[in-house]
Structure 1
Amino acid sequence: MVITRAPHSMTPPQTTTPFSAPQWQQVQQLLGLLDQRQALWLSGYLAAGAPAAAPQVAPTPSNAALIAYGGETGNSESIAQALAEQALQQGIRVDVQDLAKLRTRQLSKRKHLLLICSTHGDGDPPEPVVPFYDALMADNAPRLEGLQFSVLALGDSSYEHFCVTGQQLDERLEALGGTRLHPRQECDVDFDEPAARWGKAVREQLPRSDQRGATSTITSAPAHSALTYSKRHPLSVEVLENLNLSHPQRTTPIHHLELALKSPDFSLAPGDAVGVLADNPPALVAAVLDACHLSGEAPVIVQDESMPLVQALRQHQDLTIPSTRFLEQWAQPSDSPILKQQLKAPSKAQRQYLKTVQVLDLLRQAPATPDPQALVDALRPLQPRLYDVANSLEHIDDELHLNVKAYRYDIAGRQESGIASQYLLTLEPGDTVRIYPHRNARFHLPDDPHIPVILIAEGSGILKMAVSMAPCEINWEGFSSSSADVSA
């Protein structure tokens, strides 16, 4: 889920501070809820005292291109922010907004719309986008004859309904009278290159202002904010303990991990999640190298960074789920009749076939010795996994606790272990793991402390239920919204 958080560079002072540790955590949580305009106003309010009247905000120029994003993982937001910065450098006025906060009637006042949206689950719009999506699909949605638009649809081709939300939004904007500025671009999980091509193409279609660095509404993060930590810039933390909470004979054990958290900028609230960048098992990496007859020392490039092939396969590339692109790129060097036949099949049949095999199965069924870089380019990026936080930083501010359940699944007549849960369950004290904060406002406590709340944690075999008329008094220690491996 994507939540726009305001930039803030406030870090706990190294000397005497008037705030207690819990108070400072509350300050950081509040700042995380503010957008850039709200944070700026608050700083002036605190400096000058209560103003006589609410501040007046200059309206966004009507000719500013609207970049609207929606999703649940942060990918759409990161693309939107990068696109906005590139547009400003070219003198293009832009306004960046979250679809969760955008009203459909605002579109009728715009001339240009660049919409970036992912598809959630099995073809549903992301939860924060649902109100905008429903309003746009409604019979009383505003006409948009004066709007020029283009859609960047994000998805995962391993799911049947690939990029369907972006497709539906694209078709609906046209049905309401909008005109395509540029054809819709659909992206798989390896979206960097196609998203960059789309961004370059749409910027060429937008009008330039007379002045470079035109004004815009953009939420950006300074160097020391909590947003510094992301999938691209994770925080490496040390494992303090890895405790098995289950009976030794249980096939799907549950572990409690305790991680050292020394960074004051790693801001989390009860209900938030942590993104874990798991490594592929060394045995699987070795098997892939053997199947391709390649050396792990061969140099390759991943995201503009040079590294040995073994590191790319260990930390960056998905070695389990084969994509349609892998099928296309592997059919020729392997000269496999089976793969060539699958390439001729309808896309739905292709996706169904790819669900029955893993990357190593295809490498062994259709052997080939590719160029190391070609192998890396054919594989999907290894996706992070989200785990709910199992402790409150207000009580223990220098540790992060996770509850992880081992994940097992059947494929190709055998049983496999989930990559992330296998990685986490085998960590030992002293090992390091790469993580980043993932805000999950849907599971935060209500702002009104008088609303009754029932909390139930299910899925791991550990059941907890708390009923309270004052949620702020709930002890969250050990509580997790889901102890299971969310995406193993």
Structure 2
Amino acid sequence: MSSFIQIPEDAPFSAEQRVWLGQFLSNLLAGAATSAAAAPAGPAVPVTIIWGSQTGNSEGLAKKLVKTLKKGNFEPEVFDMGAYDRARLPQEKHLLVITSTYGDGEPPDNAAELYNWILSDAAPRLEGVQFSVLALGDTNYPDFCKCGIDFDTRLEQLGASRIFQRVDSDVDYDGPFKQWSEGIFSVLAPAGAPSSNGAAAVEQVETGFSKKNPFPSAIVTNYNLNGEGEKQTHHIALSLDGSGLEYEVGDALGVFPENPASVVDEILAALPFNTKTSVPLPDGGEADLREALIRNYDIGNLNKSLIQKWQAKSGSPFLRSLVQADDKKSWDDFCWGRDLIDLVVDHPADFTDAEDFVGVLKKLQPRLYSIASSPKAHPGEVHLCVGIVRYNTYGRKRGGICSTFLSDRAEGLKPGVFVHVNKAFRLPENGDTPVIMVGPGTGIAPFRAFLEERKISGAKGGNWLFFGNPYSATDYLYGEELAAFQKEGYLQRLDLAWSRDQKEKVYVQNLMIQQGAELWKWFQDGAAFYVCGDASRMAKDVDAALHTIAEEHGGLSKDDAAAFVNQLKKDKRYLRDVY
């Protein structure tokens, strides 16, 4: 197998350019351009791809890579980590790992069992296995790409060797995926196929509306579901007429927001250079700095990477001490409740011009919202249930960029939208299967869609919903609709947890424990279990309640209860849409 020439990281090229140049020089020196066409194909090269995905991104990239491999002399296999037979791991020749990280550095649900096993003492030695890891993450979270990093580190510890170095991807994963896949092909292609069948084929032309080409959608309906009080949860209906976009219940809608113009103007007034100028945009082209900050750059999130770049341009002793200490708690404490405006005003930096300034900023990313409608019930529309985030910190009124955009700034506009397919959160194919849904707060969104879909499709299986919020009088989202579903016989059981209506707080997990015996009967009847909402607390508490029910009402030991829950996940009977 030919070696891949590594271009030094300090060479004056981008990461993608270094990979391309390394591949070009490797092929040139090896005479690959002529020998590949003349040489016999030989036996197909085995490649195994395993993916861990919470919302479908890693799965999509894995399947995209398989299509490319099949165009060459490769024998690819692709596995959901939850379905992968770990006994075959020591026999793998070429193992490619694509995984995301979510929550507080946690593996995706389908990857958790394999992740915990491979990090344990039970994992076997893996000499002879060649591997590479693509790690997906979000630099707004402190444990960026932790799951992929842990896989990469552990595989090496177990004796496996890298085909190509790990690539860590931020939210925009297309560029890193291209870099990673081309790097792999530069090594494997000489054995598997001409390189032209490999790296060049990774790029596929997209047609229609998508994340790269969002559909400008008119807002049809926009109102607050809550009663009187400070809490706001908006029901938002957007038009899909003429878009060609299709979705299924369980999918999410991506929405491209705009930053508040008032905050952008305050930033511009505090910058020490000429702001009446154009700047390059993250995806190419250029725009006026003000428009770019409103529509294209993230001004609402602070993270470690941004602060490190900012500190290099700033004389702030505080930022310097923060960067030098590199303490996780200190990072978290400083970033929480602060935005870019706080750096601009409180820790001025010496940027030479507008282009230098936007060079440290991230691209403004779309937000994903669980779809709250069935396309069969609302043809040509898509519905969202959006909690409007507002808070005061450090003497400023602040809010969620996308939620306040939809509630306060989107009137008369057509936000760019796209459908994010989530095959990991689908209704059972058999409509006779009972369904248990746990969705407090805005977690109700996909379950409104589920109930609409089950009603229209004539599903005969029972439906059980656990919903919760602080106060019944003001926070009963879609209460009238749920009552109608009950009256019509489509919602057999409805358990409501109002955490502030009485002295002792009551949450959905408390009601699950109370109804444990009946829940266990539903599981014995083959019920599928769904959870949507907060990942950090609610989803963990619900998971713990599920283990308790298996122990108390199933008579299982702690280990057997854990095995039961894991089997539910493997059988796609325990699915989560958590954030």
Structure 1 length as normaliser, TM-score? 0.72
Report the equivalent of 1:360. Answer: 341
Looking at structure 1, the residues matched to 260 and 578 of structure 2 have their Cα atoms a distance apart, in angstroms, of 16
- Figure out how many residues of one structure are paired with residues of the other and give that number: 422
1:450 aligned onto 2:432: yes
Q: Classify 1:173/1:393 alpha carbon distance in 2 versus 1 (closer, same or farther; 3 Å).
A: same
Report the equivalent of 2:260. Answer: 281
| SS of corresponding position for 1:290 | helix
- Tell me the CA shift for residue 308 of structure 1: 2.9
1:70 touches 1:117 (CA, 8 Å); kept in 2? yes
Question: Which of 223, 226, 238 matches 1:243?
Answer: 223
- Tell me the CA shift for residue 422 of structure 1: 0.2
- Tell me the CA shift for residue 389 of structure 1: 1.9
Which stretches in structure 2 are left out of the alignment for 5+ residues?
A: 1-42, 464-477, 483-529, 535-576
Report the equivalent of 2:486. Answer: none
| SS of corresponding position for 2:281 | strand
Q: Percent identity?
A: 31
Report the equivalent of 1:176. Answer: 158
Between 103-112 and 341-350, the greater mean CA deviation after superposition: 103-112
Looking at structure 2, the residues matched to 452 and 380 of structure 1 have their Cα atoms a distance apart, in angstroms, of 44
| SS of corresponding position for 1:114 | strand
1:306 aligned onto 2:286: yes
- Tell me the CA shift for residue 424 of structure 1: 0.7
Looking at structure 1, the residues matched to 443 and 116 of structure 2 have their Cα atoms a distance apart, in angstroms, of 37
Q: Classify 1:428/1:182 alpha carbon distance in 2 versus 1 (closer, same or farther; 3 Å).
A: closer
2:54 touches 2:424 (CA, 8 Å); kept in 1? no
| SS of corresponding position for 1:426 | helix
Which letter does structure 2 place at the counterpart of 1:358? Answer: D
| SS of corresponding position for 1:378 | coil
Residues 26-74 of structure 1, C-alpha deviations (whole Å, 9 max, x = no match): xxxxxxxxxxxxxxxxxxxxxxxxxxxxxxxxxxx75144454433345
Which letter does structure 2 place at the counterpart of 1:355? Answer: W
Question: Which of 133, 136, 149 matches 1:167?
Answer: 149
| SS of corresponding position for 1:124 | coil
Looking at structure 1, the residues matched to 64 and 361 of structure 2 have their Cα atoms a distance apart, in angstroms, of 24
Report the equivalent of 2:458. Answer: 473
Between 474-483 and 204-213, the greater mean CA deviation after superposition: 474-483
- Tell me the CA shift for residue 152 of structure 1: 2.7
- Tell me the CA shift for residue 338 of structure 1: 1.9
1:422 aligned onto 2:422: no
Between 335-344 and 134-143, the greater mean CA deviation after superposition: 134-143
- Tell me the CA shift for residue 482 of structure 1: 6.3
| SS of corresponding position for 2:247 | coil
1:257 aligned onto 2:239: no
Question: Which of 393, 397, 402 matches 2:379?
Answer: 397
Between 91-100 and 403-412, the greater mean CA deviation after superposition: 91-100
2:444 touches 2:532 (CA, 8 Å); kept in 1? no
Q: Classify 1:482/1:278 alpha carbon distance in 2 versus 1 (closer, same or farther; 3 Å).
A: farther
Looking at structure 2, the residues matched to 129 and 219 of structure 1 have their Cα atoms a distance apart, in angstroms, of 25
1:302 touches 1:312 (CA, 8 Å); kept in 2? no
1:105 touches 1:142 (CA, 8 Å); kept in 2? no
- Tell me the CA shift for residue 327 of structure 1: 1.7
Report the equivalent of 2:248. Answer: 269
Q: How does 1:199-210 map to 2 (within 5 A)?
A: 199-208=181-190, 209=192
| SS of corresponding position for 1:401 | strand
Looking at structure 2, the residues matched to 103 and 483 of structure 1 have their Cα atoms a distance apart, in angstroms, of 31
Looking at structure 2, the residues matched to 75 and 374 of structure 1 have their Cα atoms a distance apart, in angstroms, of 32
Between 1 and 2, higher relative CO (CA 8 Å, sep ≥ 6) is seen in 1
Which letter does structure 2 place at the counterpart of 1:359? Answer: L
Looking at structure 2, the residues matched to 319 and 422 of structure 1 have their Cα atoms a distance apart, in angstroms, of 14
Looking at structure 1, the residues matched to 50 and 345 of structure 2 have their Cα atoms a distance apart, in angstroms, of 44
Question: Which of 314, 325, 335 matches 2:315?
Answer: 335
- Tell me the CA shift for residue 282 of structure 1: 1.2
Q: Classify 1:179/1:64 alpha carbon distance in 2 versus 1 (closer, same or farther; 3 Å).
A: same
Q: Classify 1:324/1:309 alpha carbon distance in 2 versus 1 (closer, same or farther; 3 Å).
A: same
Q: How does 1:36-55 map to 2 (within 5 A)?
A: none
| Structure showing the higher helix proportion among its residues | 2
Looking at structure 2, the residues matched to 239 and 411 of structure 1 have their Cα atoms a distance apart, in angstroms, of 31
Structure 2 length as normaliser, TM-score? 0.62
| SS of corresponding position for 2:298 | coil
1:291 aligned onto 2:270: yes
1:385 touches 1:487 (CA, 8 Å); kept in 2? no
Question: Which of 324, 347, 350 matches 2:331?
Answer: 350
1:148 aligned onto 2:127: no
2:73 touches 2:193 (CA, 8 Å); kept in 1? no
Q: Classify 1:272/1:112 alpha carbon distance in 2 versus 1 (closer, same or farther; 3 Å).
A: same
Report the equivalent of 1:70. Answer: 52
Question: Which of 364, 380, 387 matches 1:382?
Answer: 364
Looking at structure 2, the residues matched to 442 and 116 of structure 1 have their Cα atoms a distance apart, in angstroms, of 16
Which letter does structure 2 place at the counterpart of 1:354? Answer: C
2:278 touches 2:288 (CA, 8 Å); kept in 1? yes
Looking at structure 2, the residues matched to 386 and 430 of structure 1 have their Cα atoms a distance apart, in angstroms, of 21
Pairwise CA RMSD: 4.2
Which stretches in structure 1 are left out of the alignment for 5+ residues?
A: 1-60
Looking at structure 1, the residues matched to 78 and 433 of structure 2 have their Cα atoms a distance apart, in angstroms, of 30
Looking at structure 2, the residues matched to 428 and 339 of structure 1 have their Cα atoms a distance apart, in angstroms, of 36
Looking at structure 1, the residues matched to 56 and 178 of structure 2 have their Cα atoms a distance apart, in angstroms, of 16
Larger radius of gyration: 2
1:242 touches 1:429 (CA, 8 Å); kept in 2? no
1:125 touches 1:165 (CA, 8 Å); kept in 2? yes
Q: Classify 1:213/1:259 alpha carbon distance in 2 versus 1 (closer, same or farther; 3 Å).
A: same
